[in-house]
Structure 1
Amino acid sequence: MQRGKISFGKIQLSVNKPAPAAATTDKEESKEGAGDSATGGGFKKMDKIQMIQQIEDVAEDLESQHLKEVMGISGFGRKAAKVFDINEQIAKARVTRPSLHKKTEEKDEEEDNDDVIGPQPPSLDTNAAENNTKSSEDASEKSKEQDSDEDSEDDGDDSDDEQSLARRIPYTHEVQMQHGSRAVLALAGDPSGARVVSGSIDYDMCFWDFAGMDSSMRSFRQLQPCENHPIRSLQYSVTGDMILVISGNAQAKILDRDGFEKLECCKGDQYISDMSKTKGHVAQLTSGCWHPFNREQFLTAALDGTLRIWQGIKSKEQLQVIKTRAQGGLRTNASACCFNRDATLIAAGCVDGSIQTWDTRKMFVNTTHCVRGAHQKGADISSIVFSYMGQQLATRSNDETMKLWDLRQFKQPLHTWTNLFSRYDTTDCCFSPDDRLLVTGESLPKDQKEAKLYFYSTKTYEEVQRIPVASSHVIKTLWHPKLNQLFVSCGNGTIKCYYDDQRSIRGAKLCVVKTHRKRQQIEMVGVSQILTPHALPLFRQEKSRSSRKKMEKARMDPVKSKRPDLPITSGQGGRVASSGGTLSSYVIRNLGLSKRVDDDQDPREAILKFAKDAAENPYWIAPAYKQTQPKAIFSEKLPSDGTAAAPAAKKPKTEDDK
């Protein structure tokens, strides 16, 4: 049996020399004691103290052995593993190898049933050892070869990745959304990828819901949150339930997911020179962004030379005020601002061409990084954005350049891309989700027919791809990391959405497969007129009149034309008197009754109308008293022969009676 493991506990080697005392086991000690007793040595006389001590040792050994069995560990208690030199043991084994090889094999078979503490001892066969060393060397060589192969494969993958960067761009399919007719300056996507909002220079803000849209790609809501101010920037919060709206006004607004206003920031006092003493901005806003993981904190920048951090939706005052300074300590305005991914830095691009950063864990008195002359002076830095890893920073300016910076070496840019024409002060740039590409758009030059979208590698700084977008300016670019789709806003009011059918998920792919449902057409049956000039009057149809004659006839009808009541030209009391003479009759006639009541009719005559019908068909009173009604007894008629005495006629009064 070949054992390749090294024993750190019990070592059992059958050699001529007695094993050292450190390597003896409990069983050998017990055998030696038994041998001594068998040879007649017997037990020596011991004191009571020694006997008690030995009993305690045996108890401790039994207790430790019991604990070892329960806990399943080795080397516990006083009988711990002994330290030895493995090289010395192997050398001794090689000296006595020829004579002991067979004995060790037999011994191993006998001692397989013994309890061995720790791993098995190494084999004493030099051939096996040599084979093991050779196999280990071969394995190491193979592992080295595999490592080299893997390295070469990795290098190949890297080279392939560099070549396949263009295939990583999701632009195999294209969908167009129409915002309006003016330039779309702002574009933002929901973190979950369910919605997109856009803001334009014509004050409108549109909401796009991919789950509810069909192939017509129409927005489900359009509003003007800031009245007569263009929308400069939009951004969803980290939870996606609020939208930060940056307009040409001095007050930023926060809308909920459906477009209802939740907060409007305070406006500062224009007559206070120290901007840190005011409650808000006093000039036009230029940029703004949310905190990366605090859903109630956001940052705004304005032309009053300050950046303001706002905390809380209920409290309308700012939390911190950051002042941007130019070269000589004078005030300069920030045209773009942003947080890094872990919210430890705030970066701002200023009008004087400088890039300034502040550490959020310190006071905002001095800048952490400040690069003067990062861009041309007087040209606004339209966009500043951190990479997803947080080590790189990209800036886009109206001086037709885009620069890539490394925060560890912030004095000089890593690379500068030129000839990127820009007319709008909100033209931005963005990183790809894997930070390997940098994307930006250009405004339409005079000598070109289409504006293009440029993709640059952040490692080799070479142009990877160039996509023609539209015959207008390219302003905003959004590469959604969850959808893997590109949204591009243009100067003609359109929003282009690019996606890959294989690598992109949801988003615009949900809308393309839904067909546009047209309105159900109402089925109308045309009635054809049959002309029968010689038909009888009973079956003769009226001649069809023209629309003008129909209109004149409907105009003459007071009901169809809804003619108001004509004025009363004669009489007294007005309409109240004409309807019956009393106010109650007027109310009954006009409000209480659906049918008009003629007040001039005699009520007795109106009741006697129903007398004959009541006598012939009793319904109300007679059936109720049918069982208990007594039989009517009428007077008998007089005979016709005149035998009965007729009652005397009443004597008329005369003048004598008076």
Structure 2
Amino acid sequence: MAPRKCPEAQKTPKVVARLRTRRSPRELQPEARKLSVKGSGSSRRCDSGCLRAEAASLQVPQLCSSIVRALNQQKLGKAAWPSLQQGLQQTFLHSLASYRIFQKAAPFDRRATSLAWHPTHPSTVAVASKGGDIMLWNFAVKDKPTFIKGIGAGGSITGLKFNLLNTNQFFASSMEGTTRLQDFNGNTLRVFTSSDNCNVWFCSLDVSAESRVVVTGDNMGHVFLLNTDGKELWNLRMHKKKVTHVALNPCCDWLLATASVDQTVKLWDLRQMRGKDGFLYSLLHSYPVNSACFSPDGARLLTTDQKSEIRVYSASQWDCSLGLIPHPHRHFQHLTPIKATWHPRYNLIVVGRYPDPNFKSCAPGELRTVDVFDGSSGKMMCQLYDPESSGIVSLNEFNPMGDTLASAMGYHILIWRQEEAGAME
């Protein structure tokens, strides 16, 4: 089906970003009039009524000096990479205090369900909807986004990946009952799986360009592995219920993680599949699991359940060394499942908050923020909030450069960026 242009991308007003040190979620109250940051910083209100933090506690000159010292130590042959990385991460966290929404689009008549950043173009993102619509949006230019119309009811896109071998193409899994390769002209180039049954659909997708394989999971617990030419390598029932997420390890793509509403995340070695009981590890959760994402270095696994737990597992025994991060993001039928993701460059976790009155630390009037956690300590580092876009933000993902965040909030796509960078014209 031929694409059409979407007219609804627009700029939006300023937003609050809150830098965290050791503060509880109770402090994010609508009635709060000041934001205090540990140190000698100050706070003021901007003309729009938003709060603006001048975070003097993170002294940029000191951070730059630390980075220079770390680079000098590395040049001398000393192991300075951890301290260098820590200094860079601290600088980035300082910049988050000035992040705001500078672009917004509402192109769909149903909620957004999937998003994927272009692998080489830092201002281009693809977003898909519950109706099967797909938008390719380069928000750095004035040209209108490319829009592919879906089938409507029953066409929900559940997984979306760019084809790294040809970035004018993308892979998509859907409730329509297929996993397929398409281009942005609306053409279907290859169908990898087709259920031919309205009671069976595909819920998850991942692709390895290096190994030329596609993996996809359905709502009956089956996982399919195919090569990119469309040949099925195997089809196994790996879970008792819906497979909500599949992920290939970015550093050793023979390692597969699968998540399910059967309350487990399983790790598999694709080189030696031995049937449904041939998993390497089975990680039991207290509730159904929405996602399981490997860190960019492949050494950790981040899981998000359907209630109030985020977990970080560490290689090679895949133990939950950090324990769990309590966080409200409960499941709701008409809400795109909330999934935590990694920052592509730093040891940070980003996830949307769905305040729950039954959650232990919930306070009256708690805001629906985007939360950023330290991946090692589990501490809250920052919360982003826009009073003009105060819905539940289900999906959040930084672009490959790590300087721009795309969020899906109901029908809306939000683009966050550091304020000093300015809005793109």
CA distance in 2, matches of 1:370, 1:334: 13
CA distance in 2, matches of 1:471, 1:225: 28
- The answer to whether structure 1 residue 371 and structure 2 residue 243 are counterparts is no
Displacement of 1:215 after TM fit? 2.4
CA distance in 2, matches of 1:175, 1:243: 33
Contact 1:307–1:322 under 8 Å retained in 2: yes
Contact 2:329–2:352 under 8 Å retained in 1: no
Q: Which has the higher contact order (CA 8 A, sep 6+)?
A: 2
- The answer to whether structure 1 residue 316 and structure 2 residue 186 are counterparts is yes
Contact 1:250–1:283 under 8 Å retained in 2: yes
- The answer to whether structure 1 residue 413 and structure 2 residue 275 are counterparts is no
Partner amino acid, structure 2, of 1:336: S
Match of residue 54 from structure 2: none
Displacement of 1:303 after TM fit? 1.7
Distance 1:257 1:466, change over 3 A: farther
CA distance in 2, matches of 1:306, 1:299: 10
CA distance in 1, matches of 2:373, 2:95: 17
Partner amino acid, structure 2, of 1:383: H
Partner amino acid, structure 1, of 2:372: C
Match of residue 607 from structure 1: none
Displacement of 1:460 after TM fit? 1.4
Residue correspondence of structure 1 range 104-183 to structure 2 within 5 A: none
Match of residue 118 from structure 2: 237
Q: Which residue of 318, 321, 338 corresponds with 1:475? A: 338
Based on CA coordinates, which of the two structures has the bigger radius of gyration?
Answer: 1
Match of residue 112 from structure 1: none
Q: Which residue of 218, 229, 238 corresponds with 1:350? A: 218
Match of residue 170 from structure 2: 298
Partner amino acid, structure 2, of 1:463: C
Distance 1:306 1:175, change over 3 A: farther
Q: TM-score w.r.t. structure 1 length?
A: 0.38
Partner amino acid, structure 2, of 1:299: F
Contact 2:329–2:354 under 8 Å retained in 1: yes
Displacement of 1:250 after TM fit? 2.1
Distance 1:266 1:219, change over 3 A: closer
CA distance in 1, matches of 2:123, 2:169: 13
Distance 1:252 1:471, change over 3 A: closer
CA distance in 1, matches of 2:209, 2:117: 15
Displacement of 1:174 after TM fit? 8.7
Q: Which residue of 71, 88, 107 corresponds with 1:225? A: 107
Report sequence identity in percent: 20
Distance 1:479 1:172, change over 3 A: farther
Distance 1:211 1:413, change over 3 A: closer
Residue correspondence of structure 1 range 230-629 to structure 2 within 5 A: 230-239=111-120, 240-258=122-140, 261-267=144-150, 283-311=155-183, 313=184, 315-325=185-195, 332-342=200-210, 344-360=212-228, 362=229, 364=230, 366-372=231-237, 374-376=238-240, 379-388=241-250, 389-410=252-273, 411=275, 412-422=278-288, 427-444=290-307, 451-473=308-330, 475-492=338-355, 493-499=368-374
Partner amino acid, structure 1, of 2:316: K
Partner amino acid, structure 1, of 2:166: N
Residue correspondence of structure 1 range 66-81 to structure 2 within 5 A: none
Displacement of 1:454 after TM fit? 1.0
CA distance in 2, matches of 1:501, 1:463: 11
CA distance in 1, matches of 2:192, 2:119: 23
Partner amino acid, structure 1, of 2:369: T
SS in 2 for 1:476: coil
CA distance in 1, matches of 2:313, 2:302: 7
Structure 2: gaps spanning 5 or more residues = 1-19, 31-91, 331-336, 356-367, 382-400, 405-415, 421-425
Partner amino acid, structure 1, of 2:147: E
Deviations, residues 565-587 of structure 1 (Å, cap 9, x unaligned):
xxxxxxxxxxxxxxxxxxxxxxx
Count, aligned residues: 280
SS in 1 for 2:145: strand
Displacement of 1:284 after TM fit? 2.6
Distance 1:413 1:223, change over 3 A: same
CA distance in 1, matches of 2:213, 2:207: 6
Distance 1:175 1:231, change over 3 A: farther
CA distance in 2, matches of 1:436, 1:514: 33
CA distance in 2, matches of 1:488, 1:263: 27
Deviations, residues 173-219 of structure 1 (Å, cap 9, x unaligned):
8999x9x9xxxxxxxxxxxxxxxxxxxxxxxxxxxxx8997626432
Match of residue 67 from structure 2: none
Structure 1: gaps spanning 5 or more residues = 1-170, 181-209, 271-280, 445-450, 516-658
Deviations, residues 490-527 of structure 1 (Å, cap 9, x unaligned):
3343221124899x99859xx9x999xxxxxxxxxxxx
CA distance in 2, matches of 1:496, 1:478: 11
Partner amino acid, structure 1, of 2:189: L
CA distance in 2, matches of 1:349, 1:173: 40
RMSD: 4.0
Displacement of 1:251 after TM fit? 2.3
Displacement of 1:358 after TM fit? 0.9
